Amino acid sequence: MATDATRPLRRGALRQAGRAAAVLVAAGFVALLAYGLIAKSTNQTIDDSIRSGRPAAAPGFDLAVLVRGEGAPPPVRAAEAGGRLKLTSLRGTPVVVNFWASWCVPCRQEAPTLQRFWRAQRASGAVVLGLDMQDVTDDAQAFVHQFGMTYPNIRDQGNDVARRYGTTGIPETFFISRTGRVVGHVIGVVNDGQLADGLAAARAGRPLGVEQGGQRRKTR
């Protein structure tokens, strides 16, 4: 049994133990919050690099094919053969990668522009590649049918690829050179002039920078 002399010592020890436990809980919460912020953060190094006039290595991907390209150049047809498409399979070809989703209202405005551009450029060997993300397959296919999209499309069920590219919304468009380097980025709905300038930069392998386009939606 504790005596009157030992009771204050025990109470002091309990208080110290309680404080230590509270500190550990708080530290764990801060660590968990920091991890969550890091996990959800996007990669800004691509934009930082091309703003400084340095092409950046395009993050690779290997994704399921949603739409096979109509009239696509041989590298695309070969890449699509197994039902999946790797970015590395398109090395040697300038690529325009467009991130979109069926629930994105601005993407509806943009789709006809990309389709016209594809029809005008596909014979030249360039590739317009749609990347559908955070979407339902049936909804994505309905969107493709509605807008008559005949350029190749792939899909990412989540947004892992988008995060690696540093996107924070859709639509966003990246221009990739023949050597697999990002030379340009348009944030929002892309227009005809931006597509033409971006493809020219991709063909030449010269940095174009980051441009603001039209409207866009935040990713989910």
Per-residue pLDDT 10s for the chain (220 aa) are: 555 555 555 555 545 654 544 434 343 433 333 333 333 445 679 999 999 999 999 999 999 999 898 988 887 888 887 799 999 999 999 999 999 999 999 999 999 999 999 999 999 989 999 999 999 999 999 999 999 999 999 999 999 999 999 999 999 999 999 999 999 999 999 999 999 999 999 999 999 999 999 999 988 7
Q: Give the model's pLDDT for residue 93.
A: 94
Same-domain pairing of 70 and 82: yes
Q: What is the C-alpha separation between 181 and 175, in angstroms, rounded?
A: 8
Q: Give the model's pLDDT for residue 12.
A: 55
Same-domain pairing of 201 and 102: yes
- Output the domain CATH number for residue 89: 3.40.30.10
Same-domain pairing of 133 and 26: no
**Residue ranges making up the domain that contains 2:** 1-41
Q: What is the C-alpha separation between 159 and 132, in angstroms, rounded?
A: 9
Count the Cβ atoms, other than its own, within 10 Å of residue 174. 26
Same-domain pairing of 58 and 127: yes
The C-alpha R_g of the chain, in whole angstroms, comes to 25
Same-domain pairing of 33 and 70: no
Q: Are 214 and 107 in contact (CB under 8 A)?
A: no
Same-domain pairing of 70 and 117: yes
Same-domain pairing of 98 and 197: yes
**Omega of the bond leading into 171 within 30 degrees of 0 (cis):** yes
What burial class does residue 52 get, using C-beta atoms within 10 Å of its C-beta: 0-12 exposed, 13-18 middle, 19+ buried?
exposed
Same-domain pairing of 184 and 78: yes
Same-domain pairing of 155 and 206: yes
Taken as a whole, the chain contains a residue count of 220
Burial 114-132 (b: 16+ CB within 10 A, else e): bbebbeebbeebbbbbbbb
Q: Are 186 and 173 in contact (CB under 8 A)?
A: yes
Q: Give the model's pLDDT for residue 77.
A: 83
The residues, any chain, with a CB within 8 Å of residue 191's CB and separated by 6 or more, are 113, 213, 214
Same-domain pairing of 49 and 10: no
Same-domain pairing of 123 and 204: yes
Q: Give the model's pLDDT for residue 25.
A: 34
The number of domains in the chain is 2
Q: Give the model's pLDDT for residue 41.
A: 45
Same-domain pairing of 83 and 23: no
Q: Are 93 and 125 in contact (CB under 8 A)?
A: yes
Count the Cβ atoms, other than its own, within 10 Å of residue 65. 18
Q: Give the model's pLDDT for residue 6.
A: 52
